[in-house]
Chain A
């Protein structure tokens, strides 16, 4: 029995490793074509990541990516493609920032209120897509893409200076009212060459989300139903899963988590939502990382770190005369390789197991020939 477990672990690791190696080979070719030495490029990236300041930046970005990917993964586990994570987190961060800016509360309560607002907004925005799917059969892919566009416009509208936005003098950025320092989420201070940098304290929240996600999936009835619905809709229905309710709940969960994506930065760094400087597009990165991490909490952690590393080390390539797009190309290649590699490994694994089971049974049958007749 141990043998199958070991096989599964090896196969599980083989796919992403193969994919990353394959993507590196392809990227090397591209660097070669651009007339540079690929090994130097990789060396530069790794060397750059040795610096403590870069490591802090990588960790912080990975935290954000991790939450995004978990939000996407919840949908993926039951075959829901929540492309709307992007709109959900931006709208949630903006409204939570505005609400937080208007509130004046003691520390933990202030933070809690902002978190609840963000979850509620993200969940509500995803809930629109969920209702459309459950009630009208609208594909969540289409509706969430649309809702992303609507969220963008809605944010632009709400950020008018006569509604929720304000323009600090001498700046071309429009932001929400800055949060009181009661709403600042404490970080872990790191001293880098006499300069203080902070790792987002939210990294613990992200880790807790990962653990919670794992337990929900593997240890609760709800998680079992969710996985069953994802693995086989027809079998889940026959087993008594109410798929509509399941779609609704998992979409709300996914959107609620998406609401948290903007908070590490909002609570730990900028303390306001700014039209110009608040990052967009993390929802889509989350999709890539969820794929890379195979929707598993541990896999996603590695995926998020890898992605953040590639992100952060790209500028250093630029300084040294390399095209910084190499990192972006690598990210793209990794995603494609991963999708292909997983499918190949999955099929290989299934077939291999079937053969092994057949062989083992045949052996057992040879040992007790009288049983074969049965």
Chain B
């Protein structure tokens, strides 16, 4: 049983998709039973005895377990008693406890997962890939699943197990491969490591890039947020507070990093700040302006730059040419328009400038945004937002899905702008990025800012425990562990030295 661990976005799922033939690799080889293979479709992988249990179940609720199992592979054992007999056989052999004639909609999550495993075995898989199988299970069910997996192992099957829950991995795997940012960091035996060491490998103990950490933080507040409250207004969580009394201040020249597991209110915080979501209460002050009542357009043209977390949905018009994308969000500003009229000529010229200055790799500005790579799209967005002299930059996962070269560039640009007095709100799932860039870090958990930390001294692990709600307050001991803590780290303490 082989476990693959890595952070969100490290490339685990992509790797698995390649193994299962859903995606084609650019380079490299896959060897199954000593034979080099290449998969074009999942069908090829199945033929080679590789089966995958997806994180999100792929079952038809209104069919029985039997029907779900034979669906798509009716040729193997038919759809009648022969199939039922085979299902029984597999179920008994591995202790899955399957009842073939129950409707899937009547099954619980753990049972459904077993049906998924059964489906894979039914198709003759000898190698099982399980994509974060424990994410949906409660602890008892996890134990039962592991018992099943050990059963499979003892029958000579291979299990590839993807997870980022380290304790589970250590308890069940025979070998662990750690991947980070798309490359293999190392392979270890569980006996040789502990959870702490594994976490270090996972998040990478070194920081993203060397940087001079001279503080550019001033004491002029640029963004002051006071008492933001927002309740979910629809869905089953209606009424639950998604933003719960959020207050912080970002000064000129300061980068405030927000750490947190996704879905803890970060998206809502951004929406509240750019004005696409109305607040229940609270005020937002930018510089000297109370912008709480400002519409989105006024905010953005009034100095709020925005690098959205999902650039395809919020940052670009994919089928429009680059120069039109350069206008997006800043249609009322020079050089894009004069009065009510667009100025396509000036916008084009300025797009050329952005392409050059921000090193957007494109054959020209008339191509659609969709034809650029993710990194180049992001560089265009960064260039666009920086071109309007923002006072505040909201950067959500600014380097997500961006190749390493572009990553460093984007970081440099953010640092440079900070140097010139920009205030930055940085929201990221990449803890390296947060620690490396931020002047102050706050941790968001269930709509609240529960902890704060000094990026010069805090470790990924410490942040991680606060992100799951395990730790609160100031994350390491300094003399003034006060609650306000939007304060800049006191620059005297840490010099420009060792970040590595």
Question: What is the interface of chain A, defined by CB distance below 8 A to chain B?
Answer: 1, 4-5, 218-225, 227-228, 231-232, 234-235, 237-242, 350, 353-354, 356-358, 360-361, 364, 373-374
Contacts and interface: CB of A to CB of B under 8 A. Distances in A.
A242 B297 contact: yes
Contacts of A225: 331
A155 to B, nearest CB: 37
Contacts of B341: 219-221
B415 to A, nearest CB: 18
B357 interface: no
A357 B362 contact: yes
Q: Which of A222, A239, A374 has the most CB of B within 10 A?
A: A239
23 contacts: A1-B364, A4-B364, A4-B367, A5-B366, A221-B332, A221-B341, A223-B342, A232-B317, A232-B318, A235-B314, A235-B315, A235-B317, A238-B276, A238-B306, A239-B329, A240-B299, A240-B300, A242-B297, A350-B319, A350-B371, A357-B363, A358-B371, A364-B363
8 cross-chain pairs, A with B, having the tightest CB-CB distances, nearest first: A240-B297, A239-B329, A240-B296, A360-B363, A238-B314, A1-B364, A357-B371, A354-B371
Nearest to A1: B364
Contacts, number: 108
B405 A240 contact: no
Nearest to A4: B366
B328 interface: yes
Contacts of A357: 362-363, 367, 371-372
Nearest to B409: A374
A116 to B, nearest CB: 23
B337 A350 contact: no
B340 A231 contact: no
A239 B301 CA distance: 10
Contacts of A228: 317, 328
Contact of A224 (B275, B313, B331, B367): B331
Interface in B302-327: 306, 308, 313-320, 324, 327
Contacts of A223: 342
B312 to A, nearest CB: 8
A240 B298 CA distance: 8
Interface string B368-393: 10111000000000000000000000
B74 interface: no
B280 interface: no
A219 B342 contact: yes
Contacts of B331: 221, 224-225, 239
Contact of A238 (B315, B332, B370, B405): B315
Nearest to A240: B297
Given A219-B341, A235-B315, 12 more contacts: A1-B363, A1-B365, A4-B366, A223-B342, A231-B318, A232-B318, A235-B314, A239-B297, A239-B331, A240-B275, A357-B362, A357-B367
B328 A239 contact: yes
Contact of A218 (B297, B342, B370): B342
Contacts of A358: 371
B155 interface: no
Nearest to B365: A1
A232 B337 CA distance: 21
Contact size class for B?
Answer: 35 or more
A240 B301 contact: yes
Contacts of B362: 357, 361
A116 B196 CA distance: 76
A353 B405 contact: no
B370 to A, nearest CB: 6
Contacts of A237: 276, 296, 314
B353 interface: no
B386 to A, nearest CB: 16
A150 to B, nearest CB: 32
Contacts of B366: 1, 4-5
Contact of A235 (B301, B316, B364, B365): B316
B162 to A, nearest CB: 30
Nearest to B364: A1
Given A239-B328, A239-B329, A219 B344 contact: yes
B384 to A, nearest CB: 11
A1 B323 CA distance: 13
A221 B313 contact: no
Given A224-B342, A354-B371, A242 B300 contact: no
A213 to B, nearest CB: 15
Contacts of B92: none
Contacts of A241: 296-297
Contacts of B365: 1
A357 B369 CA distance: 11
B483 interface: no
B296 to A, nearest CB: 4
B329 A240 contact: yes
A339 B331 CA distance: 31
Given A218-B342, A224-B327, A238-B315, A354 B299 contact: no
B337 A221 contact: yes
B274 interface: yes
B317 A353 contact: no
Contacts of B56: none
A235 B313 contact: yes
A238 B274 contact: yes
B296 A361 contact: no
Interface in B326-357: 327-332, 337, 340-342, 344
Contacts of B308: 238
Contacts of B318: 231-232
B361 interface: yes
Contact of A234 (B301, B314, B319): B314
B295 interface: yes
Nearest to B318: A232
A221 B333 CA distance: 10
B370 A350 contact: yes
B359 interface: yes
Contacts of B314: 234-235, 237-238
A361 B328 CA distance: 25
Contacts of A373: 405
Contacts of A231: 317-320
Given A232-B318, A242-B295, A357-B362, A221 B274 contact: no
Nearest to B321: A4
Nearest to A354: B371
A239 B300 contact: yes
A328 B359 CA distance: 55
Nearest to B270: A238
Nearest to B347: A224
Contacts of A239: 296-297, 300, 328-331
Contacts of A354: 370-371
A333 to B, nearest CB: 27
A225 B275 CA distance: 17
A220 B342 contact: yes
Nearest to A224: B331
Interface string B275-289: 110000000000000
Interface in B386-409: 405
A224 B367 CA distance: 18
A360 B376 CA distance: 14
Contacts of A240: 275, 295-301, 329
Interface string B134-159: 00000000000000000000000000
Contacts of B342: 218-221, 223-224
A15 B364 CA distance: 25
A215 to B, nearest CB: 9
A305 B292 CA distance: 52
